[in-house]
Amino acid sequence: MADCLFCKIVRKEIPAKVAYEDHEVLAFDDINPAAPVHVLVIPRKHVATLNDLAPADDAVMGKLYRVAAQVARERGVADSGWRATVNCGRDAHQLVFHVHLHLMAGRAFSWPPG
């Protein structure tokens, strides 16, 4: 998608601090971290929201979680705990319409989220 912010990060048109990258997935630090560790894990393929997933996306969506766990281990927060969040749509506070998993860690979170 030409105008999608995260597609631009995938294409390296906008810089990001990359934590993991392969042919399907990219992980990079959030520009405005909400926790000491805040990494976004995205499919390289543009999918706007969870509502737009197709069966062909099942494998890569599972991979987002495994890559998040790998990055959590690398950042030393796997054992203390981490949150994996995907916001879908306006009421859930999705602002960037390219599916992304938030890996957040390094502080204690409350539940339910605000």
- Residue 28 touching ligand 5GP (CB under 6 A): yes
Matching residue, tokens 């054992």 = 79
6-25 mask for Zn ion (x: CB under 5 A)?
A: xx------------------
**Residue 63 near residue 25, CB atoms below 8 Å:** yes
**Residue 43 near residue 65, CB atoms below 8 Å:** no
* End-to-end Cα, the chain, rounded Å: 31
Choose, from 23, 38, 100, 102, the residue flagged as catalytic. 100
Q: Within 92-111, which residues bind Zn ion (CB under 5 A)?
A: 98
| Residue 93: active-site member | no
CA distance 39 to 34: 10
Among 83, 88, 90, residue whose Cα is nearest residue 99: 88
Q: Within 52-111, which residues bind ligand 5GP (CB under 6 A)?
A: 87, 93-96
31-50 mask for Zn ion (x: CB under 5 A)?
A: ---------------x----
Residue with the shortest CB distance to Zn ion: 4
Residues that bind Zn ion (CB under 5 A): 1, 4, 6-7, 46, 98
